[in-house]
């Protein structure tokens, strides 16, 4: 199979001229900026936000480039991973014509973005083991399939998808394979980032929202070959990452030690919680997890959910989702929170 990015991109996206901002046109050093109609006096905050932010976030990307081992030209930053997901639809999927493939049960935003963009979603369920059904996937792919979303570790099941299976798709599909690695910091499985140089059809999504503890900042990353990154930059809003987010992210990325400790503790707590839950007679299965949450199958999950929320403990009810009958998804909290969860569950039905 021959991969050709230009055959995948929508004609209107190829044709369009990107918005050219004032800060785009001038990128040298200067001392007087009278080009962008900003308020030159300052802003009513202790830090100055009167200037537009760097549209390509180069300082922040340099920092990420060092941490991730990826040249900055291969990094796109979005308002959460969700922005990158939406832009991929808008660049590659012709509304009413093209389709994408997802593997339920999985992250909800792929389908939301597809519907928003009037793009057909083909669903190929994971197997009972929450792995890819390669022969069903092969049958689902057609000439108008543009994107395949692989979430690994997968939300809400928690497991990593077998690496060899992902490679089979990467090697045989001439659309884009989007691997969502939102939970990769917790996984034993390695990131696909080193494979970027090998696969021009690979897009990797990561986020600062989970292990990095910055869900409130809204900063998501896409890693891909430069031609794909160039298209993402072409269609994004010019100033999609605000100055406060850029500055705070740069500061946070210099503070890695607490992140590593939190991740380690989360993984240890996950094992502890799993053992405690398996002691409870209404808990049937705690599925293997490479993420910061566990999927738990139990007798009458809805009743357990209601019991916990009445006690002020909120978990995610996934019992209406395919392959997740009677399952709750439980995020790993602090040791104290996890202990309170277990104490509450021990009193359930007592
Ligand atoms: C939480 C999550 C994200 C993160 O999305 P942001 O928009 O970056 O907060 C992405 N993918 C999956 C599978 C997630 O669970």
Pocket test for ligand 1, best of 108, 150, 161, 180 (most atoms within 8 A of CB): 180
Specify the number of domains making up the chain.
2
| Number of the ligand 1 atom closest to the C-alpha atom of 215 | 9
Pocket test for ligand 1, best of 83, 109, 160 (most atoms within 8 A of CB): 109
Measured from CB, residues less than 6 Å from any atom of ligand 1 are: 80-82, 107, 151, 155, 180, 182, 207, 209-210, 215, 220
| Number of the ligand 1 atom closest to the C-alpha atom of 154 | 13
Task: Return d(Cα 268, Cα 263) in angstroms, integer.
Answer: 9
Instruction: Give the CB-side neighbour count of residue 12, counting CA atoms within 13 A.
Output: 7
Domain boundary among 196, 221, 254: 254
Pocket test for ligand 1, best of 77, 84, 159, 207 (most atoms within 8 A of CB): 207
Residue 94's CB is within 10 A of a number of other CB atoms, namely 16
CATH number at residue 278: 3.90.1150.10
Residue 58's CB is within 10 A of a number of other CB atoms, namely 13
pLDDT at residue 148, rounded to an integer = 98
Distance 83 CA to ligand 1 centre (A): 10
Task: Return d(Cα 42, Cα 267) in angstroms, integer.
Answer: 46
Question: Are residues 277 and 339 located together in one domain of the fold?
Answer: yes
Domain boundary among 254, 277, 298: 254
Domain boundaries, position 338: 257-349
Distance 275 CA to ligand 1 centre (A): 27
Question: Are residues 70 and 199 located together in one domain of the fold?
Answer: yes
| Number of the ligand 1 atom closest to the C-alpha atom of 210 | 1
Tell me how far CA of residue 72 lies from CA of 67, 94, 110, 220, in angstroms.
11, 29, 26, 14
Distance 29 CA to ligand 1 centre (A): 37
Task: Return d(Cα 153, Cα 208) in angstroms, integer.
Answer: 15
Question: Are residues 336 and 246 located together in one domain of the fold?
Answer: no
Distance 214 CA to ligand 1 centre (A): 12
Distance 38 CA to ligand 1 centre (A): 34
Please classify residue 177 by burial: count the beta carbons closer than 10 Å to its beta carbon, then call 0-12 exposed, 13-18 middle and 19+ buried. buried
CATH number at residue 194: 3.40.640.10
Place of tokens 């357990």: 304
Output the residue whose Cα is nearest ligand 1's atom 15.
155
Domain boundary among 239, 254, 269: 254
Output the residue whose Cα is nearest ligand 1's atom 7.
80
Task: Return d(Cα 324, Cα 287) in angstroms, integer.
Answer: 11
pTM (predicted TM-score): 0.97
Question: Are residues 276 and 236 located together in one domain of the fold?
Answer: no
Pocket test for ligand 1, best of 64, 78, 82, 179 (most atoms within 8 A of CB): 82
pLDDT at residue 12, rounded to an integer = 98
Distance 207 CA to ligand 1 centre (A): 7
Distance 112 CA to ligand 1 centre (A): 13
Question: Are residues 159 and 220 located together in one domain of the fold?
Answer: yes
Q: For the chain, 350 residues long, give each residue's pLDDT as a single digit of tens.
A: 579 999 999 999 999 999 888 777 776 788 899 999 999 999 999 889 999 999 999 999 999 999 999 999 999 999 999 999 999 999 999 999 999 999 999 999 999 999 999 999 999 999 999 999 999 999 999 999 999 999 999 999 999 999 999 999 999 999 999 999 999 999 999 999 999 999 999 999 999 999 999 999 999 999 999 999 999 999 999 999 999 999 999 999 998 888 999 999 999 999 999 999 999 999 999 999 999 999 999 999 999 999 999 999 999 999 999 999 999 999 999 999 999 999 999 999 77
Question: Are residues 196 and 53 located together in one domain of the fold?
Answer: yes
Question: Are residues 308 and 230 located together in one domain of the fold?
Answer: no
Question: Are residues 105 and 213 located together in one domain of the fold?
Answer: yes
Please enumerate in sequence order all residues whose Cβ is within 8 A of that of 225, keeping only pairs 6 or more positions apart, or say none: 5, 74, 196, 200, 202
pLDDT at residue 1, rounded to an integer = 59
Distance 109 CA to ligand 1 centre (A): 8
Question: Are residues 83 and 181 located together in one domain of the fold?
Answer: yes
Distance 139 CA to ligand 1 centre (A): 28
pLDDT at residue 123, rounded to an integer = 98
Question: Are residues 137 and 197 located together in one domain of the fold?
Answer: yes
Pocket test for ligand 1, best of 76, 81, 221 (most atoms within 8 A of CB): 81
Question: Are residues 210 and 320 located together in one domain of the fold?
Answer: no
Question: Are residues 250 and 308 located together in one domain of the fold?
Answer: no
């Amino acid at each position: 199979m021959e991969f050709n990015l230009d055959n995948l991109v929508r004609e209107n996206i190829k044709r369009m001229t990107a918005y050219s901002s004032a800060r785009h046109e001038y990128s040298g050093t200067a001392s007087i900026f009278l080009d962008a109609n900003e308020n030159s006096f300052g802003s009513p905050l202790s830090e100055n936000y009167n200037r537009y932010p760097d549209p390509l976030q180069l300082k922040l990307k340099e920092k990420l480039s060092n941490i991730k081992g990826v040249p900055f030209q291969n990094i796109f930053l979005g308002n959460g991973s969700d922005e990158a997901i939406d832009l991929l639809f808008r660049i590659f999927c012709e509304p009413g014509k093209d389709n994408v493939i997802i593997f339920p049960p999985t992250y909800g935003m792929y389908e939301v973005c597809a519907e928003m963009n009037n793009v057909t979603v083909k669903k190929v369920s994971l197997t009972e083991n929450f792995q890819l059904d390669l022969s069903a996937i092969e049958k689902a792919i057609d000439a108008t399939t543009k994107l395949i979303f692989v979430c690994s570790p997968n939300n809400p099941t928690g497991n990593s998808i077998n690496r060899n299976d992902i490679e089979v798709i990467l090697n045989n599909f001439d659309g884009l394979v989007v691997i969502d690695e939102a939970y990769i910091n917790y996984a034993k499985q390695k990131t696909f980032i080193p494979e970027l140089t090998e696969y021009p059809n690979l897009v990797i999504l990561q986020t600062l929202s989970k292990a990095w503890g910055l869900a409130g900042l809204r900063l998501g990353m896409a890693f891909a070959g430069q031609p794909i990154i160039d298209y993402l930059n072409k269609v994004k809003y010019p100033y999609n990452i605000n100055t406060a987010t850029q500055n705070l992210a740069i500061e946070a990325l210099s503070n890695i030690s607490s992140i590593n400790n939190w991740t380690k503790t989360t993984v240890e707590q996950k094992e502890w919680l799993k053992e405690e839950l398996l002691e409870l007679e209404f808990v049937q299965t705690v599925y293997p997890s490479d993420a910061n949450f566990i999927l738990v199958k139990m007798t009458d999950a809805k009743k357990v959910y209601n019991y916990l929320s009445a006690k002020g403990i909120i978990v995610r009810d996934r019992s209406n989702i395919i392959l997740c009958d009677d399952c709750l998804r439980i995020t790993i909290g602090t040791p104290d929170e996890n202990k309170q969860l277990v104490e509450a569950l021990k009193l359930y039905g007592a």
